[in-house]
Amino acid sequence: MIKLDAKFYGEIRKAKDDSIVPEDEWIVFLAKDNCVPSLLALYKQLLRDRKAGQAQIDAVQRMLDRVIWWQEQHPEKVKVADIDPGEKLLENGK
């Protein structure tokens, strides 16, 4: 199993059944990343284009609304995503 996101680690659980999502199935985008609202808007459009269920599309819209709200409440934390020189990353995603 290769871990997809080399910048973060932890345990992610599904709300619907409390099952653990394997590390080779998740990635992380932070609300403070100023690209995330655009990313979510694009994702929502892609879901529509691919005929995803309306419940999924609506859930993404609610998440987008929460991210926009969060960024409005915390403008001092919003920034372009970055990796500092020498920042620790998980080797080979593991």
pLDDT tens digits along 42-79:
999 999 999 999 999 999 999 999 999 999 999 999 99
pLDDT for the residue 91 = 75
State pTM to two decimals.
0.87
pLDDT for the residue 44 = 98
Paired with 21 in beta bridges are: 12
Q: Give pLDDT tens digits for 26-45.
A: 999 999 999 999 999 999 99
> How many Å apart are CA 39 and CA 35, to the nearest integer?
6
Contact between 3 and 23 under an 8 Å Cβ cutoff? The reply is yes
pLDDT for the residue 86 = 84
